[in-house]
Chains A and B, each alone.
Chain A
Amino acid sequence: MIYTIALAALAAIWFASWKMGQGQARGIIAGGQRMHSLPSHYGAYTAILAVVPAVLALLIWSIFQPLIIDGMIVSSLPPERQALDDLFLNALINDIRNMAAGNPVRDASDPVIIAAAAELSGWQTTANFMLLALLGGLAVIGLFISRGQVVPEMRARNRVERFVMVLLILSSTIAVITTVGIVMSLLYESIEFFRRVPFYEFLFGLHWSPQTALRADQVGGSGSFGAIPIFMGTLLISTIALCIAAPVGLFSAIYMAEFSSPRARSIIKPLLEILAGVPTVVYGFFAALLVAPLLRDGGAQLGIGIDSESALAAGLVMGVMIIPFVSSLSDDVITAVPRSLREGSYGLGATRAETIRLVIVPAALPGIVGALLLAASRAIGETMIVVMAAGLTANLTANPFEAVTTVTVQIVTLLTGDQEFDTAKTLSAFALGLLLFVVTLALNVMALRIVRKYREKYD
């Protein structure tokens, strides 16, 4: 709440100081002097000086203020409450906070909580006033400094542009920061995990059952973290998906690029791309509700036992989902094959099909392989279809009619619901995530490199 007020106040200061600086510059110009920059540059300069330090202060404040107030609450508590261990202490602080905010509290009659809540709201009011005073003070100081700087010689435009440039550069680093954040968070939790479970056991173990005992006397809850069955499941489902998507996608691409009229192509291509735009949860529902029962009943008629959560159902639907990834990219690389190759082949008397088979596909092969690799990386990282249509228990098999589980399914099942961040069970999800990240990254880098090489060849 206080932050909304602070932000609104800063926005008001921004506009007011802009107008002030601009007005000052206009005044100087009206006095007959020539300024280095336009009046609006002086306005922007004034606004930056007034608001940016205050914004930084607000940021720092929002990080440290809760910590300091928590410390003050704890030190105000009676000594026997301070001696509680962290878990209870945090619960107590939460209660106090809720009480102060007027939310329902578990134990509203506890005098310690009531007293502390009263004190807390007092402190918070003080803190809020302090914050507003701080922001206001910084704004006044900024305005004061800029007042003396709006003079004809000051190069306001250059300074403002330098500031904007810094903003642009900062925002472009977000992508790098995100990657670093992903790698760091995955690595940090994975290292925690590998402290509990040996690395080789995770990579090469044949048994996966992450349930760990909550109490020491529970039976069979030791938890074992051999991820081979999960990898095999992922591989099985992705392979089935590629077996669908590769021929269908490739033949569609060839047809669109070589046989169809431009008009038909302009209709078919977006239609195929709708397949990639349908949310994956829809595919998951489709697989679980329609495809899996259909396969199960069909299998029963033929005398084959097909599980209702079979790898086949999930793989089939996933294959449909990745068709456009194959077809779009292959279409691009096939149309990029130079005309001269085609015409040379026609000139020798080859039919169109022969040209495609013997000239175009071999020429476009690297690009097609790249497309398939990208599709494979999609399939491996796909989550919702397998969560809804594949199995939950790890099962080491290559039989597509049985239920298998995948890396993404395990991550979801391990991390939805209650989590304890100090058990191997929860941490194992991050180890799986790290592995998934590394594998998909490798596939992507490889695919992009192949495609780029191929482009260079014909450019």
Chain B
Amino acid sequence: MTDAPMNGQPGEVRRGLSRTDTMETVRKGLRRRYAAERRFKWYGRIAIAIALGFLVVLVGSILFRGASVITQTHILLSVELPMDAFSVDGEVTDESLQRADFGGIVKQALRDRFPDVSKRRDRRTLYQLISTGATYELRDHVVADPSLIGQTIDIWLTASDDIDMLDKGYIDRNVDSTGRRVSDQQIAWYDALIADGRLERHFNTTFFTSGDSREPEQAGIWGAALGSFYTLMVTLLLAFPLGVTTAVYLEEFAPKNKWTDLIEVNINNLAAVPSIIFGLLGLAVFLNVIGLPRSAPLAGGVVLALMTLPTIIIAGRAALKAVPPSIREAALGVGASRLQTVTHHVLPLAMPGMLTGSIIGMAQALGETAPLLMIGMVAFIVDLPGGPLDPATVLPVQVYIWADSPERAFVERTSAGIIVLLLFLVVMNLSAVMLRKRFERRW
């Protein structure tokens, strides 16, 4: 504000106010109005801060909880492999090897390590230091090298999930023993093992290479990742060609009439139908009427394809629209047919945009859970799927299954599963962005 007169001549001052009074009112009002302006700006900043803060807390808390899955606690045991445990009539055969009591041998090794444990109950708590899967680890080790039989070997075996959680600091040993999953005795043994250097954390290969399990320390993400891969392959093979051809038809050839309008309205509405409805469709039609196998990536892929189709069509049409009409006119002008114009000139130019849209659609499909619950992909499946017809689960559903499990160690697995899922999503979206940047054309 300057001191220049604002209200014209002094004689025009109305309502008995002097000129300085008016200026004073305006100035006061201005202060209030500028304060309101600043407040308003801050509301916006706070809103954005809230939204982004949530994002940071969300990702941060999950990273924080899941990162420790990289390692897994192992215990070094001296295991005695007596000849007579593996042989029938003094002879070691494949069959006698398979039948040997590896569980008993592991337990014996634990008893040898802690010889002063004698009560049955205490022994049982002692056995709980080691994962139930350790039996199979030992068996695989011995089957791979039968010459070990008769010797005493040192072998790293997977510790149970409770010991793993204790080692990673998720279980507070200062809490009263009734309130925690690890007994005082187990903590004492754990400390003894640490003092011997017989307890270490190694890279967690199990998590990245195996399927689901009821035991957290044996559960892995690989089965779900394979399931997601097969499901997305089916989705891509169906949705991409259908989406591209539909977009081409609607954008390049369709006459403007009621039928085309109907198709367009349909596509827009399908894009906003809740995903669970597609699950109901899959259950009622694809499983019950057509008879696709339950829990199989094939059925899941078909359902997700219908779901992502609108995304791909809408992105495809935008990409086609961005190709300038001069390209079409030039092609038509030198004698190409309409179809040749599209396939030889327009489509190649629009392809990067279409691929970008498809990748984004695939990323959506990868994160989708609800419709897959409807068609039985929520089953507990240990085996790795070998193809799109085998029962399987997918990454987000695996996260859901683990999130439902009560063991503390599954919280870590769930978070780690989410990290894997988010990594895939980030890679897909980044590649979409790169594709757009790389091939973006300004006409």
Contacts and interface: CB of A to CB of B under 8 A. Distances in A.
Interface of A: 157, 161, 164-165, 167-169, 171-176, 178-179, 181-182, 185-186, 188-189, 247-252, 254-256, 259, 268, 271-272, 274-275, 277-286, 288-290, 320, 323-324, 327, 351-354, 356-357, 374, 377, 380-384, 387-388, 408, 411-412, 415-416, 421, 429-430, 433, 436-437, 440-441, 444-445, 448
Contact of B263 (A172, A259, A282, A285): A172
Nearest to A162: B339
A441 B277 CA distance: 11
A302 to B, nearest CB: 21
Contact of B421 (A248, A282, A357): A282
Given A353-B37, A412-B370, A415-B374, A284 B51 contact: no
B36 A161 contact: no
20 contacts: A165-B339, A168-B248, A169-B249, A171-B241, A172-B246, A174-B306, A178-B281, A182-B278, A255-B44, A256-B44, A271-B55, A275-B54, A282-B58, A282-B62, A356-B40, A415-B283, A416-B376, A436-B276, A440-B273, A445-B269
A286 B62 contact: yes
Contact of A374 (B272, B275, B404): B272
A167 B249 CA distance: 10
B337 interface: yes
B269 A441 contact: yes
A388 B429 CA distance: 26
Given A182-B273, A440-B272, A388 B47 contact: no
B268 to A, nearest CB: 7
Given A174-B246, A178-B309, A272 B274 contact: no
A408 B47 contact: no
B418 A173 contact: no
B341 to A, nearest CB: 11
A136 B270 CA distance: 40
B250 interface: yes
Contacts of B61: 286, 290
Given A279-B368, A285-B418, A380-B274, A255 B41 contact: yes
A417 to B, nearest CB: 9
B135 to A, nearest CB: 24
Interface centre among A161, A251, A377, A387 (most CB of B within 10 A): A251
Interface of B: 33-34, 36-37, 39-41, 43-48, 50-52, 54-55, 57-58, 61-62, 241-242, 245-246, 248-250, 253-254, 262-263, 266-270, 272-281, 283-285, 288, 306, 309-310, 313, 337-339, 363, 366-370, 373-374, 376, 378, 396-397, 399-400, 403-404, 411, 414-415, 418, 421-422, 425, 429
A268 B57 CA distance: 17
The 10 nearest A-B residue pairs measured at CB: A381-B274, A255-B44, A279-B367, A251-B47, A185-B284, A383-B370, A353-B40, A168-B249, A171-B245, A353-B37
B283 A268 contact: no
Contacts of B279: 415
Contacts of A290: 57, 61
Given A157-B337, A182-B273, A416-B374, 19 more contacts: A168-B249, A171-B249, A175-B266, A179-B266, A179-B269, A182-B278, A252-B44, A255-B41, A275-B51, A281-B397, A285-B415, A324-B51, A374-B272, A381-B273, A382-B274, A384-B400, A421-B288, A436-B276, A437-B274
A157 B343 CA distance: 14
A174 B242 contact: yes
Contacts of A377: 272, 274
A408 B51 contact: no
A421 to B, nearest CB: 7
Contacts of B288: 421
Interface centre among B54, B242, B250, B278 (most CB of A within 10 A): B54
A251 B46 contact: yes
A176 B421 contact: no
Contacts of A284: 400, 403
A412 B403 contact: no
A320 B368 CA distance: 18
A278 B429 CA distance: 11
A356 to B, nearest CB: 7
A224 B397 CA distance: 31
A433 B272 contact: no
B246 A320 contact: no
Nearest to A189: B284
B399 A176 contact: no
Contact of B262 (A167, A176, A283): A176
A252 B42 CA distance: 10
A173 B263 contact: yes
A451 to B, nearest CB: 11
Contacts of A320: 51, 54, 58
A285 B231 CA distance: 23
Nearest to A439: B274
A383 B275 contact: yes
Nearest to A430: B280
Nearest to B403: A285
Contact of B281 (A182, A251, A353, A429): A182
Contact of B280 (A185, A250, A324): A185
B44 A259 contact: yes
Given A255-B48, A281-B396, A448-B268, A181 B281 contact: yes
B249 A251 contact: no
Contact of A351 (B34, B45, B50, B274): B34
A172 B54 contact: no
A444 B338 CA distance: 35
Nearest to B30: A351
Contact of A383 (B47, B274, B414): B274
Contacts of B62: 282, 285-286
A303 B250 CA distance: 60
Nearest to A251: B47
B430 to A, nearest CB: 12
A173 B262 CA distance: 10
Given A279-B369, A381-B275, A248 B51 contact: yes
A352 B37 contact: yes
A172 B250 contact: yes
Contacts of B366: 279
A408 B268 contact: no
B276 A381 contact: yes
Contacts of A357: 40
Contacts of B278: 182
B97 to A, nearest CB: 24
A268 to B, nearest CB: 6
A284 B421 CA distance: 14
Given A179-B269, A279-B396, A416-B378, A255 B45 contact: yes
A283 B369 CA distance: 12
Nearest to B313: A175
Contacts of A254: 44
Nearest to A179: B266
